[in-house]
Structure 1
Amino acid sequence: MQTTNTMSSPEQNLVKNDWEFTEVWIDPMLSPPYILLLLCDSEENCQIYDPAQGYKVIFSSQSYETAKLWLLEDEYEPITGRLLATELA
């Protein structure tokens, strides 16, 4: 039987918790694909986190468009859809 731990991990505590939406981006050329997380707040301040590096912020931007272009330059592709913070509340 598997139990669920309700306490947050240290990695989760590193991710800001005032985000409005998040997107998952992948590098499909790698096997398995490499994943990055893009989180943006209501003022479009965005940060890109690398789950493989303990959710370290690897890029910050004051606009969604700049963050998106950074990911596209490195040939990342968005996974369709966004997760809104309000959906989890």
Structure 2
Amino acid sequence: MGKVYLKIKNDWELTEVWIDPMLSPTYILLLFCDSEGNCQIYDPKQGDKVIFSSNSYEAAQLWLLEDEYEPVEGRLLAGELV
């Protein structure tokens, strides 16, 4: 698997990949949260556009779950993305 290069800020503490398994090919969204709990969801297919922002992980997670996205197992540290 190749490296992922993003045009977004690089001080995220938590990164998760979420998928919509009902679509083919699978649709992917990226969830990033900083140390203060601020989270943003990016859509790689829309040029890494922020499609949702919140001040808590729980709110971002709920937004994804309501749209029936599922988290990919495991987490990536920010340093693993570059």
Q: Which has the higher Rg, Structure 1 or Structure 2?
A: 1
Runs of 4+ more than 2 Å apart: 85-89
Task: Give the distance between the partners of 1:29 and 1:88, measured in 2 at CA.
Answer: 26
Match status 1:30 vs 2:23: yes
With normalisation by structure 1, the TM-score equals 0.81
Q: How many residues align?
A: 78
* % identical equivalent positions: 78
Q: Which runs of 5+ in 1 are unaligned?
A: 1-8
| Structure with the largest fraction of helix | 1
Is the contact between residue 10 and residue 78 of structure 2 (CA under 8 Å) also seen in structure 1?
Answer: no
Q: Which has the higher contact order (CA 8 A, sep 6+)?
A: 2
What is the RMSD computed on CA atoms of the aligned residues? 1.7
| Mapping of residues 5-44 of structure 1, within 5 Å | 12-13=6-7, 15-44=8-37
Is the contact between residue 21 and residue 40 of structure 1 (CA under 8 Å) also seen in structure 2?
Answer: yes
Q: Which runs of 5+ in 2 are unaligned?
A: none
With normalisation by structure 2, the TM-score equals 0.87
